[in-house]
Chains A and B, each alone.
Chain A
Amino acid sequence: MVPLLELRGVTKRFGGVQALSQGDFVLNKGEIHFLVGANGCGKSTLSKIIVCALEKDSGEIFYKGKALNLSSPAEARRAGIAVVFQELSLIPDLTVQENMFLGSKNQGMLGFVDSKSQKKMCEKALARFKAVLSKDICPETPVTRLSTDERQIIEILKVLIREPEVLILDEATSSLHTTQVEILFNIVRELRDEGCSIILISHKMKELFEIGDRATIIRNGETVATVDLKSATHDEIVTHMVGEELSSSKNEEREISENVLLDVRNLSAHGLKDINFTLNRGEILGLSGLQGQGQSELLLTLFGNSSDFRGEVVLDNKSLGLKSPGHCVRDGLSYISGDRKKYGVFQIRSILENTALAYIRKKRVHLFSRKKLKISVLPILERLSLVYDSLDQSISNLSGGNQQKVIIGRWLMTEPKILLMDDPTKGVDIKTKEELYTLMKELCDAGVSILWNSSEDQEILKNTDRVLVLNEGRIVDELRGDRLSEYELYKAAMA
């Protein structure tokens, strides 16, 4: 039997990162096929390549036995391959009906919009989810008035009314409630029985075994195995995902004081539920789990970015207000983001300005001499072993890793008690990464505590004393000592 869709040796590179090194994938007609893998292993890349939202570097794609050459997602949809992406693609000010039919051909007389039949189709589609949508949703409701889960449903319906032969759902269930997921799965099963093939990307093992027929596991950009879900086990899949753990170089156990520095009690905020943990003085605490489970939200909330949090955060026996980043800086917190362009670096401005900024704000220096400022900056930059020509050099000329060093320097000048870091090594070269790890340990030995999140599972397992595993905004497990392994991490994260 000729498979409906087949990928052979597909590769994709983003700059220096090989996102997909060997993509082989076979989709049969009338099956529900899962794509599983660790964070950043290339699942989404693979699905985006299928519909040409990304261009492949090499490899071949066959559809119904013929080579498939597309130039846009719209063209893929016309060929019968449709995708529901994680990022929502609805237009807020248009109505539900307008959004659903946007970009499709006018069906009415003389190429006019046949709004009556559109409305009927739209109502029919909405009726399927009637039980889980608010009652006042009709085809004329503008999308701005819908909640996130309702938008996700409209997004799915938008794709479904075009009756695709291959349907790709990229984490479509992550923003849905349980009852909504149930209805979606019923529809997915119906579609399969009608002969449609569905590719699902999901992190939830439960879903995998509930409706999946087969699953392809991707590890580090390589499709390593395809298993039949009727016979496969939970452990088998996790083992495929993690692979044989390379000489699990244990991180040396560090001595940590028993002195509790930060105590977070029953913290809830947007995307966070009931967070409880403590951070000791000089400890490196990691946040992990699948991406987007509340790690960034937790760091941002602790840095005063969430206006409506509940719970208590105690630093050094003093309850924190977390009113704004400014308040948090004065209380001894600091925040470093992996998205340097957006949250870190002031492009074009000099290294001096970029380093001294937070210091000036915290010390409330109103008048300062450039000379004095330079003198105070120098020891910090030396400690970071930053290589530069002069302090007046523009920061844009530095590499990503060195820019990150400057930003760390910016916060070290404020003598923080806690460093919050959200994926700080993103886009940083390997050598500088190692330097950063060493620096983190040095800082902690000097009494600073670090709470950080990373999208690279190995780096966080290697460079922390403890790891908190988050799932859907809750802490589900705490790993320490021998349990600091990828296997344990994924077992906890995907339960």
Chain B
Amino acid sequence: MNTNSTKPRWLKIDWKERFRKTPYLLGIVIVILLMILLGIRNPKYLRFMSLSVKLKSWMPLLFAAFGQTFVILTGGIDLSQGTMIALVNVIVVQLVMYFEGSVQGIIIAVSAGILVGTAAGIINGLLLTRLRLQALITTYATGVIWKGLALAVMGEPGGKVPMSFYHFFSGKFLYIPVAVYLLGFSILLYFFLLKRGIITELKAVGGSTMAAFESGVNVNSKKVMAYGICGFFTALATLAIIGETISGSPLAGAGYELEAISSAAIGGASLSGGFGSPIGSLFGGVITRLINDIIFFYGIDVKYQQLMQGVIIILALSFGSLLAKSLSRRDK
């Protein structure tokens, strides 16, 4: 007891407890570590300008991972996310071109894109709950459908979106990049759902469907809701991609679903459902991108880049799972 009082303050904090309460704390720690590694190699990387440009380019993945996490919380998975991006992408670009880039046209196109994304997510959810299909294979199949629809809307990459799109996403408002506002909006939405008790119910569905049902949670509507939210954020991810490429492509977003799922896992979400946080997935997404940059700035031979990337992801994942294991153990 006496030795306790002589300890410095930071030693008195119960770190185990802290980590448990904020599952994404580990993500923050890893982000800081990677940033330091990058800063040592290339101090310019940590400048405000360079970071805000980076953040903008990370936006699509961050939104995708953020949305995917809602589905993962319920114990589901959305493999159609990548091609959903393609579908929303071509619809938005075609509409913008149809209205010849007018402001009203852009508003209509963007709203339509968000509606299509959300609707696609809800369709996923309805198929799973009404027909009692498996999430993995169903969303794979709907993913193929989205791709087919995207190709029907726009056969090959092309089209052009006004530069205002680009300027909006890379712009600043009151010295703060627009990207930060968009992320802030997402986080606000998350807290809104949290305060309405919906996040708890989503976790309950993922943790134990039967127990959630017995407790009076409407399991099916929560699942549909999760897929709908995922679709909504997938649409936002698409808009961020258009802001980067300012053109349309039926091939946009390929592979995003797996990157998003792995980001969520790195961010502490359990793929069996019931545990995790969309905010953690944001850090997971940042980590995924920082790993790419580290490989780039440390000049690792192109031949070994993929190898390194995979190994680092495994390390990040096992670090998290080992930590989770030690946290769930009860100290006697």
Residue in A closest to B272 when the chains form the complex, CB atoms:
A93
A126-149 contact mask (Cβ, 8 Å, vs B): 1 or 0: 000000000000001010110000
Contact residues on B (Cβ < 8 Å of other chain), bracket:
20 to 34
Instruction: Give the Cβ gap from A164 to chain B, nearest Cβ, in Å.
Output: 13
With a cutoff of 8 Å between Cβ atoms, the chain B residues found around residue A112 in the complex are 195-197
With a cutoff of 8 Å between Cβ atoms, the chain B residues found around residue A77 in the complex are 216
Contact between A103 and B196 (Cβ–Cβ < 8 Å)? Answer: no
Interface-centre pick from A53, A72, A74, A101 (highest chain B CB count, 10 A)? A74
With a cutoff of 8 Å between Cβ atoms, the chain A residues found around residue B212 in the complex are 91, 102-103
Q: Say yes or no for B214: interface residue by CB 8 A criterion.
A: yes
Q: How far is the CA of A10 from the CA of B209 in the complex (A)?
A: 29
Q: Say yes or no for B204: interface residue by CB 8 A criterion.
A: yes
Contact between B216 and A94 (Cβ–Cβ < 8 Å)? Answer: no
> Which of A102, A111, A140, A145 has a CB less than 8 Å from the CB of B215?
A102
Instruction: Give the Cβ gap from A163 to chain B, nearest Cβ, in Å.
Output: 15
> Which of B197, B208, B214, B217 has a CB less than 8 Å from the CB of A92?
B208
Residue in A closest to B200 when the chains form the complex, CB atoms:
A98
Contact between A74 and B216 (Cβ–Cβ < 8 Å)? Answer: yes
Q: How far is the CA of A112 from the CA of B328 in the complex (A)?
A: 30
Q: How far is the CA of A106 from the CA of B200 in the complex (A)?
A: 12
Contact between B195 and A144 (Cβ–Cβ < 8 Å)? Answer: no
With a cutoff of 8 Å between Cβ atoms, the chain B residues found around residue A91 in the complex are 203-204, 207-208, 211-212, 274
Q: How far is the CA of A106 from the CA of B192 in the complex (A)?
A: 13
Instruction: Give the Cβ gap from A463 to chain B, nearest Cβ, in Å.
Output: 36
At the interface, is chain B mostly helix, strand, loop or mixed? helix
Question: Which B133-159 residues have C-beta < 8 A from chain A?
Answer: none
Interface-centre pick from A85, A103, A106 (highest chain B CB count, 10 A)? A103
Q: How far is the CA of A175 from the CA of B211 in the complex (A)?
A: 19
Q: Say yes or no for A67: interface residue by CB 8 A criterion.
A: no
Contact between A93 and B203 (Cβ–Cβ < 8 Å)? Answer: yes
What number of A residues sit within 8 Å (CB to CB) of B? Answer: 27
Contact between B217 and A103 (Cβ–Cβ < 8 Å)? Answer: yes
Q: How far is the CA of A73 from the CA of B201 in the complex (A)?
A: 17
B308-332 contact mask (Cβ, 8 Å, vs A): 1 or 0: 0000000000000000000010100
Q: Say yes or no for B210: interface residue by CB 8 A criterion.
A: yes
> Which of B197, B204, B274 has a CB less than 8 Å from the CB of A113?
B197
Q: Say yes or no for A89: interface residue by CB 8 A criterion.
A: yes
Q: Say yes or no for A231: interface residue by CB 8 A criterion.
A: no
Question: Which B203-260 residues have C-beta < 8 A from chain A?
Answer: 203-204, 207-208, 210-212, 214-217
Knowing A103-B216, A104-B216, A145-B330, say if A89 contacts B211 (CB, 8 Å): yes
Contact between B200 and A94 (Cβ–Cβ < 8 Å)? Answer: yes
Q: Say yes or no for A395: interface residue by CB 8 A criterion.
A: no
Residue in B closest to A91 when the chains form the complex, CB atoms:
B207
> Which of A88, A102, A140, A158 has a CB less than 8 Å from the CB of B200?
A102
Q: Say yes or no for A90: interface residue by CB 8 A criterion.
A: yes
Instruction: Give the Cβ gap from A135 to chain B, nearest Cβ, in Å.
Output: 12
With a cutoff of 8 Å between Cβ atoms, the chain B residues found around residue A89 in the complex are 208, 210-211, 214-215
Residue in A closest to B21 when the chains form the complex, CB atoms:
A140
With a cutoff of 8 Å between Cβ atoms, the chain B residues found around residue A72 in the complex are 216
Knowing A92-B274, A94-B207, say if A102 contacts B21 (CB, 8 Å): no
Q: How far is the CA of A25 from the CA of B275 in the complex (A)?
A: 43
Question: Which B281-332 residues have C-beta < 8 A from chain A?
Answer: 328, 330
Add 14 more A-B contacts to A89-B214, A98-B204 (CB < 8 A).
A73-B216, A74-B215, A90-B211, A91-B207, A94-B203, A94-B274, A98-B203, A101-B197, A102-B200, A102-B212, A111-B196, A112-B195, A113-B196, A140-B21
Task: Please list the 3 inter-chain residue pairs (A to B) with the smallest Cβ-Cβ separation, ordered nearest first.
Answer: A74-B216, A103-B216, A103-B215
Tell me the A residues contacting B by CB distance below 8 Å.
Answer: 53, 72-74, 77, 85, 88-94, 98, 101-104, 106, 111-113, 140, 142, 144-145, 158
List 11 interface pairs A-B (beta carbons < 8 Å), by A numbering.
A74-B214, A90-B211, A92-B274, A93-B203, A101-B197, A102-B200, A102-B216, A112-B196, A113-B200, A142-B20, A158-B215
Tell me the B residues contacting A by CB distance below 8 Å.
Answer: 20-21, 195-197, 200-201, 203-204, 207-208, 210-212, 214-217, 270, 274-275, 328, 330
